[in-house]
Structure 1
Amino acid sequence: MTDGAAKQGQPAGAELVRAAGCVLWRRSPHGDDGIEICLVHRPKYDDWSHPKGKLKRGEDALTAALREVLEETGHRCIPGARLPSLRYLASGRPKHVVYWAAEARSGSFAASTEVDRIVWLSPAAARNRLTQPRDRALIDALMQALHTA
């Protein structure tokens, strides 16, 4: 880690955790013109978030994001616009998560020890369900990306 990283609020000597994820969405099955956003529940943290995870050695961020969506939600998706990245501390280590919008195409959820539930919610309901306030800006970015596409 460089001195510049420490100056940007990252603890000196702490290795950056690189992760990637998606704001997974689908067209509402209720016949309206709306969309629904998928959130995952992680029992280890008892939180609701967007599907995401750490990059494997040599893996690029988009490949990791799509892999994590499939592993955590059971859904295959088509990536869309790049969304803002988030930087924060996780367990005392700096974490950088890169996100994409991704439209769900096929699949079905199966609970695991990592993710025990998913929900599909309207954007407003998803904003309210997210545990971390920092994740809410990703919904705004998704909505902007979908309206400008």
Structure 2
Amino acid sequence: MTGAPNPNPRTDAETNAADVRFAAGGLLWRDADGGRRLAVVHRPRYDDWTLPKGKPEADEPLDETALREVREETGCAVERGRFAGTVTYETDAGPKVVLFWRMTLVEEGTRETDGEVDEVAWLTPEEARTRLSYPAERAILDHRPVTEVLAPATEDVEPDADAEPTDRSR
């Protein structure tokens, strides 16, 4: 996977359509005592917590990519539900668009150790909001437009929900 967001995004004039990379993933839910839990994965390479996702294989439709990546990163058999939204951010390789689908657990399994993901945590929605490393992924979880969470902010100023996003990190 292309990694952490690039702190120096390109301008629109520097980006061609061919530069845009795509990935897909899922919000994988399971029912548990005390309510629903969301799968969140830890990537040791970036030391971050994200929703399970990844790049498509050659000619693979993105909805199938989402299923495969969630299975690979969580070890679970899953069923894809409705489309949940997109996250867009800059990487060193160029802009990336990640499409997410809602998913439900069919059967828990064991994950193959591959070094890409070293931990899967099943969290309440509130725990996931705290643990997820990227505001845009929290926005998908909260069903909010990404522009609400990507507006620049300082400690003294609340983000302006109507502002154009300038921080395109995840």
What is the TM-score with the length of structure 1 in the denominator? 0.82
* Correspondences of 1:101-140 after superposition (within 5 Å): 101-110=102-111, 111-140=113-142
Cα offset, 1:8, TM superposition:
7.8
SS of residue in 2 equivalent to 1:63: helix
Partner of 1:27: 31
Aligned-partner residue type, residue 96 of structure 1? V
- Going from structure 1 to structure 2, the CA distance change for 1:105 and 1:89 (only over 3 Å counts) comes to same
* Correspondences of 1:1-149 after superposition (within 5 Å): 9=12, 11-13=14-16, 15-28=19-32, 30=33, 32=34, 34-110=35-111, 111-141=113-143
Structure with greater helix share of residues: 1
User: Does the CA-based 8 Å contact 1:11-1:94 persist in structure 2?
Assistant: no
Q: Distance in 2 between matches of 1:8 and 1:77?
A: 38
User: Does the CA-based 8 Å contact 1:11-1:93 persist in structure 2?
Assistant: no
Structure with greater strand share of residues: 1
Q: Distance in 2 between matches of 1:128 and 1:10?
A: 35
Q: Percent identity?
A: 38
User: Does the CA-based 8 Å contact 2:15-2:94 persist in structure 1?
Assistant: no
User: Does the CA-based 8 Å contact 1:40-1:117 persist in structure 2?
Assistant: yes
Q: Distance in 1 between matches of 2:69 and 2:13?
A: 25
Q: Distance in 2 between matches of 1:107 and 1:10?
A: 46
Aligned-partner residue type, residue 27 of structure 1? D
List gaps (5 residues or longer) in structure 2. Answer: 1-9, 145-170
What is the TM-score with the length of structure 2 in the denominator? 0.72
- Alignment: residue pair count: 133
Cα root mean square deviation, aligned:
2.0
List gaps (5 residues or longer) in structure 1. Answer: 1-6, 143-149
Structure 1 residue ranges, 4+ long, deviating more than 3 angstroms after superposition: 7-11
Q: Distance in 2 between matches of 1:127 and 1:9?
A: 30
Q: Distance in 2 between matches of 1:18 and 1:64?
A: 10
